Amino acid sequence: MAARLLRLYVAGNSASSRRAQQNLERLRVSLGSRGWDVETVDVLERPELAESARIIATPTLSYEDGARTRRIVGDLSDTARVLEFLGINEKDEA
């Protein structure tokens, strides 16, 4: 099975960017590491990546698994809701 990709787009070191990064780390722990690639893209340093992905707000988490791409905007503080939105079954990932 190919690895699925979680890509977090942030803007610098703002409070919401830091919160989103901390919450993404918590999400990674709850999912385990099997089959997951995780990247963080700072749109201030790499604006071309944000433009090509059509990111218009930060923080944005993009879930890419080959079959579909889903995105959620915010600091990712509600882990259960983030998992539900992304269509990830936490029980299957553990």
- CATH number reported for the structural domain that contains residue 47 in this entry: 3.40.30.10
Q: What are phi and psi of 47, to 5 degrees?
A: -60, -30
Count of domains forming the chain: 1
40 in a domain, yes or no? yes
pLDDT at 37: 83
Residue 63's domain comprises: 4-88
**Predicted local confidence at residue 90, as pLDDT:** 58
Band (pLDDT 50/70/90 cuts) for residue 94 is very low
**CA–CA dist 75, 91 (Å, integer):** 23
Residue 93 lies in a domain: no
Residue 94 lies in a domain: no
The pLDDT value recorded for residue 70 is: 86
Query: Cβ distance 4 to 56 under 8 Å?
Result: no
Q: Does residue 37 fall inside a structural domain?
A: yes
Q: Region 70-81: what's the mean pLDDT?
A: 89
Q: Inform me whether the pLDDT recorded for 7 exceeds 90.
A: yes
- Digit-coded pLDDT (tens) for 14-69: 999 999 999 998 888 877 766 778 899 999 999 999 999 999 999 999 987 767 78
Question: What does the block give as tokens for 70?
Answer: 């889903």
Give the model's pLDDT for residue 82: 87
Identify which has the larger pLDDT, 31 or 80.
80
